[in-house]
Amino acid sequence: MLRHVIIAVAFLAASSPATADLVHVRVVTVIDGDTIRAVMPWGAIERIRVLGIDAPELGERSPCPAFGERAKLHLAGLLRQGPVTVETGRRDRYERVLGVVRVSGQDVAPLMIEARLARPYDGGYRQPWCGA
């Protein structure tokens, strides 16, 4: 019995997200302009927050949901252009994986900023995207 427990713990340690720095993922959905849901190599479906940007909110939380929808569609278009990798990091307070998201090796954060659909973000106070 103890042998099975040791083998199971060794397997979980080898396949857990804590051991992966750069992983290939399959995007399941784009939640908004800075968050995706993806299948990780170990089979889990994770919410991944694109590190380094803040995009406009969607739905009831946003005074301008159309702008949030544009950001979401733009990110979805970028992620369809090639293989997606994530350089995993820690989790945020919402239990999302924080990571650098790349498509065909290119970081999507600067591309979203260049398109004026996201702003640089380091975890501090976020500025509103449109009038209250």
Model confidence over 90-124: pLDDT tens digits? 999 999 999 999 999 999 999 999 999 999 998 87
Which residues form the domain of 40?
21-120
pLDDT band at residue 85 under the 50/70/90 scheme: very high
Catalytic residue (choose from 3, 57, 87, 116): 57
pLDDT band at residue 131 under the 50/70/90 scheme: low
In a domain, 115, yes or no: yes
Rounded distance between C-alpha atoms, residue 20 and residue 16, angstroms: 7
Model confidence over 11-58: pLDDT tens digits? 334 444 444 489 999 999 999 999 999 999 999 999 999 999 999 988
In a domain, 99, yes or no: yes
For residue 92, the 8-state DSSP code is -
Catalytic residue (choose from 49, 69, 91, 114): 49
User: Is 96 considered catalytic here?
Assistant: yes
In a domain, 96, yes or no: yes
**Number of domains composing the chain:** 1
Model confidence over 7-17: pLDDT tens digits? 333 333 444 44
The CATH number of whichever domain residue 114 belongs to comes to 2.40.50.90
Check: CB of residue 118 under 8 Å from CB of residue 109. Answer: yes
For residue 16, the 8-state DSSP code is S
Catalytic residue (choose from 46, 96, 114, 119): 96
Q: How far is CA 109 from the centre of its chain?
A: 10
In a domain, 85, yes or no: yes
How many other C-beta atoms are found inside a 10 Å radius of the C-beta of residue 71?
25
Rounded distance between C-alpha atoms, residue 132 and residue 130, angstroms: 6
In a domain, 5, yes or no: no
- Chain position carrying tokens 């650098």: 100
Phi/psi zone of residue 33: left (φ > 0), alpha (ψ -120 to 50 degrees), beta? alpha
